[in-house]
Amino acid sequence: MDPDAVSKAFVDHYYTTFDTNRAGLANLYQESSMLTFEGQNIQGSANIVAKLTSLPFQQCKHTITTVDCQPSGSSGGVLVFVSGNLQLAGEQHALKFSQMFHLWPTPQSSFYVLNDIFRLNYA
């Protein structure tokens, strides 16, 4: 398992899905998944996707600036730390954000998002 390859593939897939088919993110979370979105705690795939699809903008485009990753211990998990810009349709200025994911291995040799923490970086 190469954490760099896993995290790059995940980041590409996650933000492309977010920007084109937000409801499709459901496949990346499970019942044990946790999201902290701007300080609000949400648990479980259905609740997390309900939150993400109800955000008050229809179209958006993420541009990734940095991706850092580390193995999270002996369990095969991967920590991914992302910074980037979020451009909302109709807004002049992009928002800066930071986000971390803890990817956890599945029995099918894939990964799901166990932990997800998102913050906008206010200027």
What residues make contact with a copy of itself under the rule CB under 8 A? 34, 36, 39, 41, 66, 68-73, 75, 77, 79, 81, 83, 96, 98, 100, 102, 104, 114-115, 117, 119, 121, 123
**Minimum distance from CB of 58 to a copy of itself (Å)?**
26
**Minimum distance from CB of 20 to a copy of itself (Å)?**
26
Total residue length of the chain: 123
Which residues are registered as beta bridge partners of 112?
Answer: 104
CA dist 22 and 14 (Å) reads 9
Which residue lies nearer to a copy of itself by CB, 21 or 93?
93
- Chain-centroid distance, C-alpha 113: 8
Which strand (E) or helix (H) includes residue 14?
A: helix 3-20
Q: How many CA atoms lie within 13 A of 73 on its CB side?
A: 5
Which residues are registered as beta bridge partners of 93?
Answer: none
**Minimum distance from CB of 86 to a copy of itself (Å)?**
13
**Contact status, residue 77 vs residue 69, Cβ threshold 8 Å:** no
Which residue lies nearer to a copy of itself by CB, 13 or 112?
112
Which residue lies nearer to a copy of itself by CB, 16 or 32?
32
**Minimum distance from CB of 1 to a copy of itself (Å)?**
15
Which residue lies nearer to a copy of itself by CB, 26 or 34?
34
